[in-house]
Amino acid sequence: MTPTMKTKYREQVVPELQKKFNYGNTMLIPKLSKIVINVSVGMQHDRDALNSVLEDLAKITGQRPMMIKAQRSVSNFKLREGVALAGKITLRGARMYEFLDRLINIAMPRIRDFRGVPAQSFDGRGNYSLGLKEQTIFPEIDPDRVRKVHGMDVTIVTTAKTNPEAHELLRLIGMPFEQKNKGEQQ
C-alpha cells in the first residue's frame, strides 16, 4: 500500500510543479530523495542515556538507528576515540513518506506556540534542515517514560537544483512555512 503523502505527491504536487516551472522532461521535476535524522547525547558518557535516545528514535521512525562514535580523542573535551555520541537514521521510500506525513500532520501541530517552520533553512542546493527541541511531540513517545528530553535534527534531501524549487515542493506537500507579517522587513 502506497503512503498517502506519496499519492499526494504524484497526483497533486507533480502537475503543479510542472505547470509552475515548465519542466521539459518529467524526470526534472524535484522529488524527495531521503530524510536524515540525527540525535546527539553530547558529552554525557552515560550508556543508558544513549540507549534510551536510540529506542525513542526507533519508535519514531520504525527503523533501527545507527550509533555514531567519536573518530578521534580530544583531551580538552575529555573525549576518547570510540565513545558513542549520537544516533542517526536515513529514511528512504515508503518509510520516508510516512515519517514526513506524521511530522507535518501530527507532530508539528503539537509543538507549543507553533507558527510554522522557518523558510530560510535551505542550504542552496534544495535541501531543507530543521531542528526539533523535544521528542515528545511524536505520539509514539510516552512523556511519562522519558528520562531526558532531547532534540533532533531533521534534514530533508530533495533532487531540486535551487532553493525556490525545493521550497515550492515542500510547500505543496504540506510543510507549514512561517508567514511574514506585513509590518516585518524582508
Identify the pLDDT of residue 46.
67
Flag residues of the chain having pLDDT under 50.
186
Cell of 40: 546527539
67 contacts 54 by C-beta, under 8 angstroms = yes
| Domain extents in the chain | 4-173
pLDDT tens digits, residue range 84-124? 778 899 999 999 999 999 999 999 988 888 888 999 999 98
Distances (CA, A) of 99 to 9, 118, 152, 169: 14, 19, 14, 17
Task: Tell me yes or no: is domain 4-173 CATH 1.10.3720.10.
Answer: no
For residues 163 and 121, give the distance between their C-alpha atoms in angstroms, rounded to a whole number: 10
Q: The pTM is what? A: 0.87
